[in-house]
Structure 1
Amino acid sequence: MNKNIPPLRTVDGAALMSQPLRPPNFVVDTLIAQGLHLLAGSPKVGKSWLALWLSVMVAKGEPVWKMPTKQGTTLYLCLEDSVLRIQNRLFEITEDAPSSVHFCTECALIGQGLEEQVETFLATHPDTVLVIIDTLQMVRPARDATYANDYRDLSALKRIADAHGIAILLIHHLRKETADDVFNRISGTTAISGAVDSSFTLVEERRGSGRAKLSCVGRDIEYRELTLERNGENVWELVSDS
């Protein structure tokens, strides 16, 4: 028997039930709580436009589709874009981007420095509430797509979100093939859906229509489907919420 291994730290049922309930801390009320989240969609569907808009709206403390936001610093790792492209997109979606939204086009990989880079940013900006990584694939080391590897990579990011009480949103891809359950189209093994606290899929009614369904499922939110429409400024506006 190894005496250096600490014993299990348990809590009994009576003690657990006597503790006051702590509701989840939402960054976007009823939609995005603290924790790790995934937004998946087909290529060129408008995921990055949505991510950029979210980062700005939360930084400004403005509602997202009529849902209140928790204002704070946001970090958008836009790893498939240039600074010029982000600047051009900002001019389209807003007239005044606040200094509390930060952009970065390069970073390290998971397990090779990314965690330390995010931790350093959080230490410098302790009021951070949202980090967006666009895309997940850009921060993953090159290795076999196995359940264990998928779970290991996402767990590293979830630990940061949980430790700091922030939301981390990963932008990801959907497979081309159809499925009865749209969440089964999320690229990678089932570990990706299992490791996150909520998953969102953005699927156009038809390619180029500018109208899409955002399906939402998670541990701290109720299942819902938002119908969105992309306006002339490339902002996804809410059409209906069911």
Structure 2
Amino acid sequence: MKTQLENALAFANNNVKVFPLSYNSKSEQILSSWKNEATTDVNQIRKWFENTDCNLAIRTGNGLAVIDVDVKNSEEGKKLILEKLKEFPNTFTVQTPSGGYHFYYRVDRLVKCRVRVHEEIDIRGENGYVVGPGSCINGKFYEIKNNVPIAQATESVYSFMEGCVQTKQRKIISSGQYLEGQRNDYLFRMACSLQSKGLDDDAICSAISIENEKKCYPPLKQSEIERLCKSSMRYEKGNLTIKNEVTCTNRYTACELINAQEDESLEIVENMLSVGVAILGAPQKTGKTFFCIQLADSIVNGTNFLGRKVVQGSGLYLAFEDHKTMIQKRLKRMGIKPNDQFVIDVLKSNSEFDLNTRIQQEKEINPDLRLVVIDTFAKIRKSIDRDYETEYKEVSSYHELAFQYNIVIVLVTHLRKEINVDQPFDAIYGSRGLTAGADSILVMYKRNHISNSRQLSIQGKDIPDDEITLVQNENCMLVVSEDEFDEQIDDNLSKVINYIVENKNYIGSHDALCSKLKLNIRGKGLQTLLKKNIDLLKDSNIYYEVLPRTSKARQMKMTYLGDEAL
């Protein structure tokens, strides 16, 4: 079982606030105001839970809600939730000491705390909390029963939290109708689609009015329909193409192409990023967000990026993974100067996200848009299929969009854990269709877990293959390193860190670990080495502690915190 500190850090790592409770208590407070003092600050969390026996509390609200199922008085709540789980997304679950359950969900709307919303079921939302995993009540523990990421709540989950009858909602959804929260988005998309096909304005309004009456529950007011249609008509009206009509507007002879004056340069960043779609792959905690922010800032200001010339223009950063506060901290730490042409959207995961419409909206404000970053691509993937044809088609659609607006679209993605430094592009998740559809591919990685530098491999159409070594300065800005590789790091320490990262944890004596890894030092020497490099261990996301002495040799514990599931 994880320690309270490990559990608390896992939640904090996912922007969920925590705070301590008294030992063996669900309500006895240690803080003067848990609502104000609950935090994700790692240093404060260590002070609370390191070498203490406090219980852990999870602050709900601000994007988190928990379904609290009790079984003290009856099994009705448990029976109901087990039936409903067939409709709900798989999510992080904790079993309480009494045999009840806490089901955690990410929410993008206000969810209030409610008591007995169903038989033996409470909802913990805004200004609430639940006792976290690892906490102890009368010798029994709150235990993690389903250790998966916290899922985004669906409409069925929201209705359950509100106490609605689910059968009615299933009937509405199955008959193709749209509920509150879905109506405006559906009708606006429909209006934009009709506008792109060239329908007359009056015809669009009539069609949307009919759709509203037939498919929206309850229907929107006519004034809202008119406003919605008017908004869709801001975009350029298209032309409906007749299927059998053949037009070749882009036919050239080789003579015409050779003698014609070249169009605007396709390179946005010299020998790195061209107009089209680019894939940036990097493992977690490598600095890919800092990389993207620095890239956008360079393009917006027209300054060199990693020593390479850029085409100046505005930048749009779509942040699907970070909260506003985290991005704000990074901008300040990097010393990014305020600029209205550097636009950041803080968004929720959405497979229906309409990038085309968002680009159109931005170009109305900033016509010189040059860069769009999607961090991360997984948050807007249209399909769960990972075969060549599906992924090639999906990336190609972004390629066409980029050329339509003469921009570069950067799709940020993660890498597999095992990276072949000779073939780094093979580490990108997915089939080869993903990279085949891209115009540029960038992979940023560390050669080993304790490396201070990062390797950036570059590959693209009409771009020379290249690899450069980068380091982060004190402001987390990336700079090109003159040294090709890192300074020499103790071989024994390197072996230990690589072992912990791969195996996640170790509990035992220092001597046993020396023997296991065939180190050329003994237990006392290893203990001294680890204490001396405690900051390096923290930078590698490894928590190290020496446990109290028992009748046996003194034990120590090392835990890797970089791949927490929450």
Q: Note whether the superposition's TM-score is higher than 0.5.
A: yes
Report the alpha carbon displacement of residue 21 of structure 1 after superposing the two structures with TM. Answer: 4.1
**Paired-residue identity, %:** 25
Displacement of 1:78: 1.3
Aligned residues: 241
Partner of 1:235: 477
Alignment partner of 2:328: what SS? helix
Question: 1: CA distance between counterparts of 2:243 and 2:413?
Answer: 44
Q: State the 1:24 CA deviation.
A: 3.4
> 8 Å contact 1:92–1:234 — kept in the other structure?
yes
Q: Deviations over 1:136-180 (max 9, x none)?
A: 111113422122221222122111110111111111111123334
Structure 1 unaligned spans of 5+: none
Tell me the amino acid that sits aligned with residue 200 of structure 1: L
- Candidates 234, 240, 244, aligned match of 1:4: 244
Between Structure 1 and Structure 2, which shows a larger proportion of strand residues?
A: 1
Q: Does 1:212 align with 2:454?
A: yes
Instruction: State the match for 2:407 in structure 1.
Output: 166
Q: Take 2:406 and 2:244, find their aligned partners in 1: how far apart are those partners?
A: 31
- Quote the residue 2:232 is aligned against: none
Residue among 7, 26, 47 paired with 2:267: 26
Aligned AA for 1:210? N
Determine the structure 1 residue equivalent to 2:277. 36
- Residues 178 and 86 of structure 1, relative CA distance in 2, 3 Å threshold: closer
CA RMSD of aligned residues (A): 2.4
Does 2:223 correspond to 1:223?
no
TM-superposition CA deviations, 1:88-121 (whole Å, max 9, x none): 0000111513111000121675665232222322
Q: Partner of 1:154 in structure 2?
A: 395
Amino acid at match of 1:99: D
Supply the AA of the counterpart residue of 1:214: L
The 3 A distance-change label for structure 1 pair 95 and 130 is: closer
Map 1:184-223 to 2 at 5 A: 184-223=426-465
Return 222-231 or 150-159, whichever deviates more. 150-159
For the 8 Å contact 1:175–1:187, the answer to whether it is kept is yes
Structure 1 position 115 matched with structure 2 position 377: no
Partner of 1:176: 417
Query: CA separation in 2, counterparts of 1:3 and 1:200?
Result: 39
More helix as a share of residues? 2
One-letter amino acid of the counterpart of residue 326, structure 2: R
**Aligned pair in 2 of structure 1 residues 119, 208: CA closer, same or farther (>3 Å)?**
farther
Higher RCO (Cα < 8 Å, 6 or more apart): 1
- One-letter amino acid of the structure 1 residue matched with residue 343 of structure 2: H
Query: What TM-score results when the alignment is normalised by the length of structure 1?
Result: 0.89
Contact preservation (8 Å) 1:225, 1:241: no
2:334 corresponds to 1:93: yes
CA distance, structure 2, for counterparts of residue 134 and residue 214 of structure 1: 18
1:39 and 1:200 in contact (8 A); partners too: yes
